[in-house]
Amino acid sequence: MTTRKERKLAGSGGRLVMIGLPLVVIGIVLALLLSGTASGIGAAIAVLGALPVVAGIVLILSAGTEQHSRKDRPFA
């Protein structure tokens, strides 16, 4: 049974990943298809979309670490 903290971390992490992934995909498509300044704008959108993706992955990993430590298993 997961604790409330683990559920909150995993839920928030999944939500952030789902928010950021479309932005990353749109930014990459714009950067690849367009040239010049528009390509730079696409890259900027991809980078801005990558921020919530990374934060979401960190939250999901934190939830996994919380579960692992709750079971009293060694980390190394």
CA 4 to chain CA centroid, Å, is 21
- Compute CA distances 56 → 20, 24, 33, 65, whole Å: 9, 14, 28, 14
- Compute CA distances 33 → 29, 36, 44, 75, whole Å: 6, 10, 14, 45
Higher-confidence residue of 66 and 14: namely 14
Prediction pTM value: 0.81
Beta-carbon neighbour count of residue 72 at 10 Å? 6
**Domain segments of the chain: what residues?**
23-65
Residue with the two structure tokens 């690849």: 32
pLDDT value at 1 more than 70: no
Tens of pLDDT, residue by residue over 7-46, are 888 899 999 999 999 999 999 999 999 999 989 999 999 9
Tens of pLDDT, residue by residue over 44-62, are 999 999 999 999 999 999 8
